[in-house]
Amino acid sequence: MEVDVRGLSCPEPVMQVAAALKESPEKVVVLLSEAHSVANVKNYALEHGYRVHQEAKGFDYQLTIEK
Amino acid sequence: MFWGVVTGLIAAALAYFGNPKNMAICIACFVRDIAGSMKFHQAAVVQYFRPEIVGFVFGAFIISLVTNEFRSTAGSSPMIRFFLGMAMMIGALVFLGCPTRMVLRMASGEISSYIGLIGFVGGVVTGIYFLKKGYSLGRSQITKKASGMILPVVFGLLMVATLVVPQVFAFSESGPGSFHAPWLISLAGGLAIGMIAQRIRMCFAGGVRDALLIKNFDLLSILVGIFAAMAVYNIVMNDFQIRMFGPVAHAQHLWNILGLYVVGFASILLGGCPLRQLILTGQGSSDSAVTTLGMLMGAAVAHNFGFASAPAAAATADAAAVAGGPGTPGMIAVIVCIGFLFAVGIYGTKKEA
């Protein structure tokens, strides 16, 4: 499942990722535009026992969240 | 927690070097003082161009450029944010302080600030209710780099102007505006806090929000750190005292609660408290820059139309005790702000094609 949270204010990115992980608990790919959202989403995923892989996508960030 | 303690120590140092003790780094107070120094309002006791505010914005600006986190963005309902910024400031000036000062006042033993905390948390909870219903002001987009840089640069130029042509600015000769640390110390303290706040995503509303919404206590622990450092400083300096209110504060419970209710609610609708808005301005958000200008306007409006509360004062040999708090215009303004916030909350949950 893919989620695009670019340009959203806090805490919408974390909330959308949390909702996506409920729907698709195995794997969620997140596209983000702000470094602080990256930190927030990453923390959330790690705290909930997921592995997180981060890469740059041009000016944006992509997080792959997996069990 | 560690960086919260460091921030608290910087705030304590600024108070030690001359800032009003229980304001130290209050965002609402200092934006209000800047509005006064630029003669946007005429309250003679609260006029001083606070270098701390410039430091917060510029510190975040510098660090975000260095770490490549600077993003010039805009377009998430800027004019709604402008008015949310105004409402946030009006609420803060009825309580007499933003969430930062609430924590500083709590650390000096003021019961009125703990009562205000009830309202602040209530406002955050109300905001969370709308977030859970899908509230959003829409996405921001990448925009011209200059759009994100212009307000940090203008703050920097204004800072230079206060040093080169101080005669065009107003400076309080008495009252809270006349208490300040030397400008270089203020600026340095502001820069340091701006950098720290950007790195650790410090946010007073976010601390309460994350704890309640996603059971994450990272941001809240920062606030506990600030509280602890300031409390220890106050105890050491013999300024800690359990009392209803300290200097430049009042104990009108209902209005302390409702004032901070507005601030907490508006902060959640904006995605961050007054401090956070300054930091996001520094890292390139034009939406937050517009919010910052809204706060400046809110401060001017609050004093020009008598919305801001009067501080309480104990009786002296020449004067009777003053209860302080908002006058009728301030009470009406708070009610109007609450109505406006609910309207924004409801509007923001509506899906648009």
Q: Give the per-residue SS3 of A1-57.
A: CEEECCCCCCCHHHHHHHHHHHHCCCEEEEEECCHHHHHHHHHHHHHCCCEEEEEEE
Is this prediction's pTM over 0.90? yes
pLDDT score for B353: 52
- For B218-242, the pLDDT digits (tens) are 999 999 999 999 999 999 999 899 9
pLDDT, mean of residues B147-157: 97
Which residues in chain A (6-45) have CB-CB distances under 8 A to chain B?
A: 6-12, 14-15, 18, 33-36, 39-40, 43-44
* pLDDT class of B309 with cuts at 50, 70, 90: very high
State the DSSP H helix or E strand holding residue B54, giving kind and residue range, or none if neither: helix B51-66
Cα–Cα dist B229/B231, whole Å: 6
- Judging contacts by C-beta atoms under 8 Å, the chain B residues touching residue A56 are none
The CA-based angle B220-B225-B230, given to 5 degrees, is: 130
Q: What is the CATH number of the domain that holds A19?
A: 3.30.110.40
Query: How many other C-beta atoms can be found within 10 angstroms of the C-beta atom of residue A39?
Result: 16
User: Residue A31: helix, strand or coil by DSSP?
Assistant: strand
- Is the reported ipTM for this assembly greater than 0.85? yes
Question: Which residue of chain A comes nearest to B203, CA vs CA?
Answer: A10
| Residue spans per domain, chain B | 2-349
pLDDT, mean of residues B92-100: 96
pLDDT score for B237: 92
pLDDT score for A58: 87
Average pLDDT of chain B to the nearest whole number: 95
pLDDT, mean of residues B13-37: 95
Cis peptide before A11 (omega within 30 of 0): yes
pLDDT score for B315: 83
pLDDT, mean of residues B262-275: 97
pLDDT score for B319: 84
State which residues form the domain around A61: 2-66
B178 DSSP 8-state letter: G
Tell me how many domains chain A contains. Answer: 1
* Contact between B71 and A59 using a beta-carbon 8 Å cutoff: yes
Q: Inform me whether the pLDDT recorded for B259 exceeds 70.
A: yes
State the DSSP H helix or E strand holding residue A65, giving kind and residue range, or none if neither: strand A60-66
* pLDDT class of A59 with cuts at 50, 70, 90: confident
**Nearest CB to B271; choose among A10, A33, A43:** A10
Q: Inform me whether the pLDDT recorded for B282 exceeds 70.
A: yes
* Contact between A9 and B272 using a beta-carbon 8 Å cutoff: yes
pLDDT score for B328: 96
